[in-house]
Structure 1
Amino acid sequence: MSLEVTNLSKLYGTQKALDQVTFSAKPGRILGFLGPNGAGKSTTMKIITGFLSADSGEVKVMRKDAIHAPKEVSRLIGYLPEHNPLYLDMYVREFLEFSGGLYGLSGHLLKSRTKEMLHRTGLEPEQHKKIGQLSKGYRQRIGLARALIHDPQVVILDEPTTGLDPNQLVEIRNLIQEVAKDKTLILSTHIMQEVEAICQDVVIINKGKILAADSLSNLKSNSEETILILETEEELNLEWFEQVGNISFGTKGKMEVLVSTIDPASARKAILQVIQERSLNLISLNQSKKNLELIFREITNA
Structure 2
Amino acid sequence: MNNITVEVDAITRIYEDRKVVSELSFTLEQGKALGLLGANGAGKTTTMRMIAGHLAPSHGAVRICGIDILRKPTEAKALIGYLPEQRPLYKELTVDEYLEIAASFHRLSSRKAKQSIALVKERCGLTEVGRRVIEQLSNGFQQRVGIAQAIIHSPMVVILDEPTVGLDPIQIRQIRSLMRDIAQDASLIFSTHLLPEVEMVCDDVQILEQGKSLYQSDIETLKQHMQTRALVVGFKRPVNLQAITELQHVVGVDYKNENTLVVQYQHASPAEEIVGLAVKNNWGLFLISEQQTSLEDVFLKITKSE
Tell me the TM-score range normalised by the shorter chain: 0.7 to 0.9
SS in 1 for 2:207: strand
1:14 paired to 2:17 = yes
- CA–CA distance in structure 2, aligned partners of residues 158 and 228 of structure 1: 39
In the other structure, the counterpart of 2:52 is 49
Asked whether 1:167 is paired with 2:185, we answer no
SS at match of 2:206: strand
Q: Deviations over 1:213-253 (max 9, x none)?
A: 111111222566625679xxxxxxxxxxxx97499x9xxxx
Q: Which amino acid aligns with 2:91?
A: L
Which residue among 190, 193, 198 is the counterpart of 1:195? 198
Contact 1:220 1:290 in 2 (8 A): no
**Deviation at 1:70?**
2.2
How high is the sequence identity, in percent, across the aligned residues? 39
Pick from 92, 95, 98: which aligns with 1:95?
Answer: 98
Normalization by structure 1: what TM-score?
0.81
Deviation readout 1:170-215 (Å, 9 max, x if unpaired): 1111111111111111121110011111212111111111122111
Alignment CA distance shift 1:285-1:188 (3 Å):
farther
Residues 9/265 of structure 1: CA separation in 2 closer, same or farther (3 Å cut): same
Rounded to whole Å, the distance in 2 between the matches of 1:130 and 1:198 is: 30
Q: TM-score, normalised by structure 2?
A: 0.80
* Equivalence for 1:299: 302
Q: Which residue of 2 aligns with 1:253?
A: none
Q: Distance in 1 between matches of 2:229 and 2:72?
A: 48
Give the counterpart letter for 2:67 in structure 1: K
Q: CA deviation at 1:71?
A: 2.4
Q: Which is greater in Rg?
A: 2
CA distance in 2 between partners of 1:245 and 1:205 (Å) = 31
**Which sits farther off after the overlay, 216-225 or 206-215?**
216-225
Counterpart check, 1:217 vs 2:233: no
Give distance in 2, aligned partners of 1:229 and 1:77.
Answer: 48
Task: Pick from 114, 117, 120 the counterpart of residue 114 of structure 1.
Answer: 117
Deviations 1:127-147 (A, max 9, x none): 000000000110111011000
Partner of 1:20, secondary structure, is: strand
Where do 5+ consecutive residues of structure 2 fail to align? 234-249, 275-286
Paired amino acid for 2:141:
Y
Contact 2:228 2:291 (C-alpha < 8 Å) held by counterparts: no
Does the C-alpha gap of structure 1 residues 229 and 140 become closer, same or farther in structure 2, counting only changes over 3 Å?
farther
Q: What residue number does 1:178 align with?
A: 181
Aligned residue in 1 for 2:243: none
Counterpart of 2:38, as a letter, is G
Match of 1:287 in 2: 290
Equivalent residue in structure 2 for 1:136, among 139, 142, 147: 139
Residue 74 in structure 1 maps to residue 94 in structure 2: no
User: For structure 1, which runs of at least 5 residues remain unmatched after alignment?
Assistant: 231-242, 250-256, 270-283
Query: How big is each residue's C-alpha offset from its partner over 1:1-28, in whole Å with a ceiling of 9 and x where there is no partner?
Result: 1101011111111211111101111111
Assess if the C-alpha contact under 8 Å between 1:54 and 1:67 holds in 2: no
Q: Size of the alignment, in residue pairs? A: 271
Residues 228/80 of structure 1: CA separation in 2 closer, same or farther (3 Å cut): farther
